[in-house]
Amino acid sequence: MVRVAGHPSGRFLGYVQVQVASRTYALRVEALPSNRTEGTGAETGFFAEGEDRLGILVDGEASADVVERTIERASVDAARHISRTLLN
């Protein structure tokens, strides 16, 4: 079972649904704070921590266009990750 969990430093924005085969996954989307310290390892895009913690991080200071592109790219990455994990 895949569990969707938040990132420890993110602010919840909503969910994005990703469909893989006949299953739909709701991935939590969070914005990284503007005051995050360098070196935390938090990068924007899709993240998978372990086998069951999945989500999407965006830059909290980015424009709406950049956030949308990040979510689109991360959704493709998430579908690829889930496909490899569950279908192989």
Averaged over 5-32, what is the pLDDT?
A: 84
Say which residues have a Cβ less than 8 Å from residue 26's Cβ, sequence separation at least 6. 4, 15, 16, 17
The span from the CA of 76 to the CA of 35, in Å, is: 28
What does pTM read for this prediction?
A: 0.79
Q: What pLDDT is recorded for position 40?
A: 54
pLDDT digits (tens, 9 = 90+) for 21-80: 899 999 999 998 866 545 555 789 999 987 678 999 999 999 999 999 999 999 999 999
pLDDT digits (tens, 9 = 90+) for 40-56: 557 899 999 876 789 99
List the domain boundaries for the chain: 3-63
